[in-house]
Amino acid sequence: MPHYLVSWGDPRDRLYDVTIRFTAPNDIPRLLLPAWRPGRYLIQNYAANVREWGGSHRVWKDGKTSWRAGARAGEAVTVTYRYYAGILDAGSSFLDDDEAYINGTNLFMLVEGLRGEEHRLTIAAPAEWRIETQLPRVILSREDGEGPPADSASSVLAPGVPRCARDDTSFLARDYDHLLDSPVIAAAAMTRYTFSEGGARFHLIFRGGEGIDTEQFVEPTRVIARTQAELFGGLPFREYRFLYHVRDKWHGVEHEDSCSIIVKRSALFDAEGYDHLLLIAAHELFHAWNVKRIVPAKFAPYDYWTETPTRLLWAMEGLTSYYGALSLVRGGIWTVARYLEHLRKEIETLEALPARLHLPLSQAGFDGWLSDPAQMHDHPNAWYSFYTKGEIVSALLDLTIRTASNGTKSLDDVMRLLWEQRILEEDAVERAVAQVADTGDFFARYVDGVEPLPYAELFAAAGVAFASRPRAGSSLGAKVKMADGLLIAENVIRGGAGMAAGLLPNDELLSLDGTRTASEAALATALRAFRIGDSAELLVVRAGVVKRLSLEGRPDPRPEITLRAAQPNEFRRGWLHVSS
């Protein structure tokens, strides 16, 4: 059984010391560190954070993400290395004075040939710290502080059992994949709420939540869990953890029996931030079914070292986004009006992106591996989020099924079929839909094609009025931002006035028609006086040179969307599980 020990010296170095002990499964055993993690479909190159490797035998690197140990089969081997952990997001690893946060995909090398064996993890944290993880705890027969040898006797307790003074803080994973999928927070200060629902225990763990009423999220989370369990006929686990860090942004990552969520502190003091936290929680919890247990065949098993494109990412993330938001309205946390406002914003976001005209939804997911924020490649015009369009298409697919079946079937029935299958081939969603209702060429037109989405007719069946109209006034057709006191064009939208004038991303905007544009507000003021059809000089700085561009006033290419519920509607009641 491989045993992983994580320790550290000065936490301000942000360096974890990782020790792996194992019996060599063959001569010159190979160790591999993942290059990406499930939930983020992009090569991350975690090996760039590894340094100072060594051990009981000679250890050398033999590839971009692989190492070798100079041992013979059957020999006891120790491999050590250090890992830089200086960034905290939901999918990273982080080390500080008062916290150790660990994601196994970043940190733990696989001993090739031992993937299916049980793996033991020991966290050498200060005695007064608490450790939270979905992994079950191991009580060791040994108390020397170094962790157990590979053959030590042990017993397994439930996850999260408070540590005792002589406990080595060890945990047991059923295999390497389980180890990677189990994030760990070790810290002295955490707030924990526990409730039971549907035969399972739920824990909300908040790190850094001082000054925030975190308890207000307990009961809504219970409602979300109950609502999602009703869809599938029960929960797929006995225990589940929401691991929250209250920080400065939003981010979430799903795991088998837990999720890790970064919360934007400044947003938690208003209704919008409250809603957003619950929306992320509902999304990540639904992943306990869809993605963690309903899995594309291409991810069974995961190849953590190579890109693995699949055309199912729209379903993995889009269906999850759809049911995450649906949980809130079906559970009574959101009103119908609040849910329609959420959908309206998603539709408005999608309809503003030129890529919807040429990029099929299934292709957007397949090409997700190319969507590197560091290399934008005309990103705003060439790509859109398969989360966003996937959610919208899921809603329209649900309405299509309900319409085709006269309200007797729905996307809920499709999800239950997928739950029975678990491992999905590339056409599994389309085949499951065909078992439930005749949706005609829906997939060819809207999933694998780029036809305009049929909003008006489908929403009308649910008694929801849809409208799209051009925005008033002229627009630059570009997203701008302030950077080091300069107003910079962040991206330029195809079909807008900026692109027609020759504006490029990273151009600094100096003035429009003689008016200094030193801020976003100043630019907005100048544009209000700039009418459609007018011409004006736009001064920009590009690569240190002032350029004069001729800007012609054009309408904003982004539409303005409205969604409004009309009179009470039986169809809508069945869809949203509401009384009106």
Alpha-carbon span 331 to 225, nearest angstrom: 9
Alpha-carbon span 164 to 154, nearest angstrom: 15
* pLDDT tens figures, 61-116: 999 999 999 999 999 999 999 999 999 999 999 999 999 999 999 999 999 999 99
Q: Residues 6 or more apart from 247 whose CB is under 8 A from it?
A: 88, 208, 262, 263, 264, 265
Residue 358 amino acid letter: H
391-413 average pLDDT score: 98
* pLDDT tens figures, 445-467: 999 999 999 999 999 999 999 99
Q: Indicate whether 337 pLDDT > 60.
A: yes
Mean pLDDT of the chain: 93
For residue 39, report the phi and psi dihedrals to the nearest 5 degrees.
95, -20
Q: Residues 6 or more apart from 218 whose CB is under 8 A from it?
A: 193, 195, 204
Percentage of residues of the chain with pLDDT beyond 70: 94
**Given the structure tokens 């997911």, which residue do they identify?**
365
Please give the pLDDT value at position 376.
65
Strands 3-8 and 119-123, by their bridges, are parallel
Determine the distance from the C-alpha atom of residue 415 to the mean position of all C-alpha atoms in its chain, rounded to a whole number. Answer: 20
* Cβ-contact 549, 540 below 8 angstroms: yes
479-504 average pLDDT score: 95
Strands 423-424 and 295-296, by their bridges, are parallel
Please give the pLDDT value at position 311.
97
* Cβ-contact 399, 464 below 8 angstroms: no
Lookup: tokens for 141:
């027969």
The angle subtended at Cα 343 by Cα 440 and Cα 417, nearest 5°, is: 45
* pLDDT tens figures, 339-373: 999 999 999 999 999 999 999 999 999 999 988 76
User: 140-144, 447-451, 494-498, 556-560: which range is least confident on average?
Assistant: 140-144
First vs last C-alpha separation in the chain: 58
Q: Other C-beta atoms within 10 Å of 224: how many?
A: 26
Q: Indicate whether 151 pLDDT > 80.
A: no
* Cβ-contact 122, 169 below 8 angstroms: yes
Q: Indicate whether 171 pLDDT > 90.
A: yes
Alpha-carbon span 155 to 160, nearest angstrom: 15
**Rounded to the nearest 10 degrees, what angle do helices 386-404 and 320-330 cross at?**
60
* Cβ-contact 91, 50 below 8 angstroms: no
Q: Indicate whether 496 pLDDT > 50.
A: yes
Please give the pLDDT value at position 168.
57
510-524 average pLDDT score: 94
Alpha-carbon span 94 to 178, nearest angstrom: 20
Please give the pLDDT value at position 159.
53
pLDDT classification of 148: cutoffs 50, 70, 90 = very low
Question: Nearest-CA neighbor of 468 among 476, 459, 477?
Answer: 459
167-188 average pLDDT score: 93
Alpha-carbon span 571 to 576, nearest angstrom: 9
Please give the pLDDT value at position 378.
86
**Given the structure tokens 């993605």, which residue do they identify?**
291
Q: Indicate whether 167 pLDDT > 60.
A: no
Please give the pLDDT value at position 568.
83
pLDDT classification of 321: cutoffs 50, 70, 90 = very high
189-194 average pLDDT score: 97
Residue 323 CB burial class (10 angstroms; 0-12, 13-18, ≥19): buried
DSSP state of 311: T
Higher-scoring residue by pLDDT: 47, 557: 47
141-151 average pLDDT score: 44
Alpha-carbon span 384 to 136, nearest angstrom: 39
Please give the pLDDT value at position 136.
95
DSSP state of 415: H
Alpha-carbon span 565 to 307, nearest angstrom: 43
Please give the pLDDT value at position 179.
98
Residue 417 amino acid letter: L
**Given the structure tokens 């490797």, which residue do they identify?**
53
Question: Nearest-CA neighbor of 426 among 383, 360, 362, 370?
Answer: 362
3-state secondary structure 438-478: CCCCHHHHHHCCCCCCCHHHHHHHCCEEEEEEECCCEECCE
Alpha-carbon span 120 to 133, nearest angstrom: 13
* Cβ-contact 139, 155 below 8 angstroms: yes
The three-state secondary structure class of 189 is: coil
122-134 average pLDDT score: 96
Alpha-carbon dihedral angle through residues 294, 299, 301, 304, given to the nearest 10 degrees: -130
Q: Which domains does the chain have, with CATH numbers?
A: 3-187 (2.60.40.3650), 191-285 (1.10.390.10), 313-467+566-576 (1.10.390.10), 474-557 (2.30.42.10)
Please give the pLDDT value at position 140.
58
Please give the pLDDT value at position 147.
45
Question: Nearest-CA neighbor of 214 among 268, 254, 251, 282?
Answer: 268
40-55 average pLDDT score: 96
Please give the pLDDT value at position 161.
45
Please give the pLDDT value at position 143.
45
